[in-house]
């Protein structure tokens, strides 16, 4: 008989791993039913071919479900040991209760196989939870926070100009020194507001620096560079815009970050970056701000 190809639309079919776990649970249930239905009175004279066949069937099922080298298989493999041979019986001693001993072996085997079913059910629950987590992350996207962190140095005029512009176009400007300390260090305060939706970093020539033996040139304060790196790592480059004033040293490691001049049309440039990051803007407000 020709083999039929699987359907191309697999959307309604469970993943192959789910099918394997479910099938394994069913097979273990079948072995449990066979143990419960077995006629123990047929073993009064010792092991039979039917008993040996059942042992082989249990062992093969455990191998299929868990793999012969797994810890679970080693924990459960004694479920396939059903036979019992009494030792040497002295003359005149009562005959050993072979059927009673076999009943205990069968009960132990059923308990082990039931534990195997529980193990597979837990694996299935864990797998389904893992598969559902990414779906839940994407099924209900959260709205972007309209809080914008303003990283600044000693140029108070630039800080106020940018912060007030953001507020006029509908954003909440977060300036670190305006927030309550509550006993926190500076980096703890930065982390506290790290969940903002966007960051504007003001690179103003507040410090000077150079390579050893070189000529000092203007550069931004080191805390500004630190916070620039923090927000790139936290938000991604697409949600960080650096605005610079004058001629100053630009960190070479941050290639790809947008740098806009505060001497140019920085308001429109910042508006475009906010819009590209997913925000809706009223451009009439941007042009008037």
Is it the case that residue 12 has pLDDT exceeding 80? no
The domain locations on the chain are 16-85+97-136, 147-288
Tell me what pLDDT residue 257 has.
Answer: 60
**Cβ 25 vs Cβ 117: under 8 Å:** yes
What is the pLDDT averaged over residues 118-142?
67
Lowest mean pLDDT of 64-78, 89-103, 156-170, 179-193, name the range: 89-103
> For residue 109, what pLDDT band results from cuts at 50, 70 and 90?
very high
Tell me what pLDDT residue 147 has.
Answer: 92
What is the pLDDT averaged over residues 211-230?
86
> Which tens digits make up the pLDDT trace of 224-258?
888 888 888 888 888 999 998 888 877 766 655 66
- Please state, in angstroms and rounded to a whole number, the distance separating the CA atoms of residues 270 and 287: 12
Tell me what pLDDT residue 142 has.
Answer: 57
Is it the case that residue 28 has pLDDT exceeding 60? yes
> Which tens digits make up the pLDDT trace of 264-289?
899 999 999 999 988 998 988 888 87
**How high does pLDDT run on average in the chain?**
80
Q: Give me the CATH topology for the region 147-288.
A: Rossmann fold (3.40.50)
Going by DSSP bridges, is the β-strand pair 207-209/172-175 parallel, antiparallel, or unpaired? unpaired
Tell me what pLDDT residue 26 has.
Answer: 92
Tell me what pLDDT residue 5 has.
Answer: 46
First to last CA, the chain: 77
* C-alpha separations of 186 from 100, 173, 181, 182, 212 in Å: 75, 18, 8, 11, 29
pTM above 0.85, yes or no: no
Helix axis angle for 49-66 and 98-139, nearest 10°, is 20
What is the pLDDT averaged over residues 56-70?
89
* C-alpha separations of 87 from 79, 84, 95, 98 in Å: 22, 10, 11, 11
> Which tens digits make up the pLDDT trace of 153-197?
898 999 999 999 999 999 999 887 766 555 667 677 678 777 889
- Which residue, 226, 264, 230, is CA-closest to 244? 264
Lowest mean pLDDT of 19-23, 125-129, 139-143, 179-183, name the range: 139-143
Tell me what pLDDT residue 246 has.
Answer: 84
The percent of residues in the chain predicted with pLDDT above 90, rounded, is: 25
């Amino acid at each position: 008989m020709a083999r039929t190809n699987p359907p191309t639309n697999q959307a309604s079919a469970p993943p192959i791993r789910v099918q394997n776990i479910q099938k394994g649970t069913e097979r273990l249930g079948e072995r449990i039913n066979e143990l419960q239905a077995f006629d123990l009175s047929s073993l009064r004279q010792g092991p039979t071919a039917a008993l040996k066949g059942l042992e082989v069937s249990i062992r093969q099922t455990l191998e299929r479900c868990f793999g012969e080298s797994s810890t679970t298989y080693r924990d459960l493999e004694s479920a396939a040991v059903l036979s019992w041979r009494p030792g040497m019986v002295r003359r005149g001693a009562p005959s050993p209760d072979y059927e009673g001993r076999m009943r205990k072996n069968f009960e132990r085997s059923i308990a082990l196989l039931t534990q195997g079913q529980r193990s597979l059910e837990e694996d299935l629950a864990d797998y389904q939870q893992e598969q559902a987590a990414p779906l839940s992350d994407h099924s209900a996207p959260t709205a972007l926070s309209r809080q914008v962190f303003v990283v600044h140095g000693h140029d108070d005029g630039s800080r106020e100009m940018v912060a007030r512009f953001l507020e006029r176009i509908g954003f909440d400007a977060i300036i670190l020194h305006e927030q309550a300390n509550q006993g926190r260090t500076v980096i703890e305060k930065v982390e506290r507001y790290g969940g903002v939706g966007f960051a504007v970093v003001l690179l103003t020539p507040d410090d000077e620096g150079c390579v050893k033996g070189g000529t000092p040139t203007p550069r931004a304060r080191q805390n500004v560079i630190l916070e620039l790196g923090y927000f790139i790592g936290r938000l991604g480059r697409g949600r960080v815009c650096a605005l610079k004033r004058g001629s100053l040293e630009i960190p070479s490691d941050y290639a790809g970050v947008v740098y806009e001049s505060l001497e140019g049309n920085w308001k429109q440039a910042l508006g475009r970056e906010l819009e590209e990051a997913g925000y809706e803007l009223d451009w009439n407000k941007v042009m008037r701000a």
